[in-house]
Amino acid sequence: MSVVRLGLLGAGGVAALHAQAALSMPDEVRVEAVCDVDQARAAELAARSGARAYTDHLGMLDAVDALIVCTPHALHLAPALDAAAAGVHVLMEKPMATSLADCDAMAEACARAGVVLFLGHIQHYLPITAKAYEVVASGEIGRPVAVVDRRATDYRRDHRPAWFFDPVLAGGGAVMNIGAHCIDRATWLAGAAAVRVTARLENRGLPVETEGLLQLELANGVLATVSVTTSAMPQLDEIEVLGSRGTLRASRANGVWVAGHGRAEQRATPGDIDTEVAVAFRDQLGDFAAAVRGERPAAIGPEVGRAVVATVLAAYASAGSGQAELVPTGRKPVGQP
């Protein structure tokens, strides 16, 4: 196959970013179908993409090579299983699911069907984070010792879709939705998944948490702190990696800086955020299309998505118990909770 035919499941803001990315690379991908339970919304995005609109994803699977799932988190499993059964490849938006049983079921179904399951963890493609990873991986700051990831963003009802505040559909609040980005970024740069979590959460009167402070112990001995808040000003999105020979700090506001031996150097300057997000979605889609064509393995596989979900669930368990909790790592048979 030369041009990969895409189906978008969900026609909200993230789906629009995927559609925009597809339009920028017509020689590689084409949006063939857009599905949403809201017919008008599906039709609007389909018209912008030159695609056909659907309200049932089963009806479009015969027309596409790959499905991009942008539904509420708890609704990820069924379309993944349906796509796998139809021989259709899957790009699953983060978080992978709201339970490890769902993560395992979709991974196993896609593996059995021989289709790609690519996880949409966009942090790997944002220019600032990608540059930070490059610097850390080069060994310039030495061995990572500790990581601090901070995110302050808006999580009010009038700034987010209603389902974000449904603990069943969303699987949680700011930690599941925003914290998943932070956990992914911190563990990626540190080089290992979390094995133990201590967490404190607050919900400020909402059905889901709006604030979270997580202390992660990683498999390689690195300690990581993740702070997610929706009440701090100004808004913040930054990560700091403390290494044995220096320190790296990366943020949307200030770019990438490396410090050591009494001096600091800027390695990347901040760009326009809308442009950087567009570039990230384009590059991610390019990697997904290459995996679909069999040119290379999925850059971000199900093991990454599962580890992030497992860490979030351990954080919820810790907040409930008031103690540190182990991150579950073992896979369970399909159907076992």
pLDDT over 50 (residue 334): no
Q: Same domain for 43 and 129? A: no
C-alpha torsion 201→319→188→249, nearest 10: 40
Integer Cα distance of 29 and 22 in angstroms: 6
158 lies in the same domain as 255: yes
Q: Based on the fold, state whether residues 132 and 119 are members of the same structural domain.
A: no
Q: What is the pLDDT of residue 337?
A: 36
Q: Are 149 and 262 members of one domain?
A: yes
Residue range 262-314, pLDDT digits in tens: 899 999 999 999 999 999 999 999 999 999 999 999 999 999 999 999 999 99
Q: What is the pLDDT of residue 329?
A: 85
Q: Would you call 265 helix, strand, or coil by DSSP?
A: strand
* Residues with Cβ within 8 Å of residue 301, at least 6 apart in sequence: 117, 118, 119
Could you tell me if 43 and 148 lie in one domain? no
Domain that holds residue 316: 125-271+309-325
pLDDT at residue 331, as a whole number: 58
The domain that holds 42 is classified in CATH as 3.40.50.720
Residue 335 has pLDDT above 60, yes or no: no
Could you give the C-alpha distances from 256 to 133, 142, 223, 238, 284, in angstroms and in order? 10, 16, 21, 10, 21
> Do 285 and 235 lie in a common domain?
no
Q: Looking at residue 219, what is its pLDDT? A: 98
254-274 pLDDT, tens digit each = 999 999 988 999 999 999 999
User: Does 233 have pLDDT greater than 90?
Assistant: no
3-state helix, strand and coil shares in percent for the chain, rounded to the nearest 5? 40, 25, 35
Mean per-residue pLDDT of the chain: 96
For 207, phi then psi, to 5°, come to -70, -15
105 and 210 fall within a common domain: no
Asked whether residue 319 falls in the same domain as residue 282, the answer is no
DSSP annotation of 234 reads S
The helix/strand/coil state of 213 is: strand
316 plus 170 within the same structural domain: yes
What pLDDT score was predicted for residue 167?
97
Same domain, 33 and 103: yes
Band (pLDDT 50/70/90 cuts) for residue 135 is very high
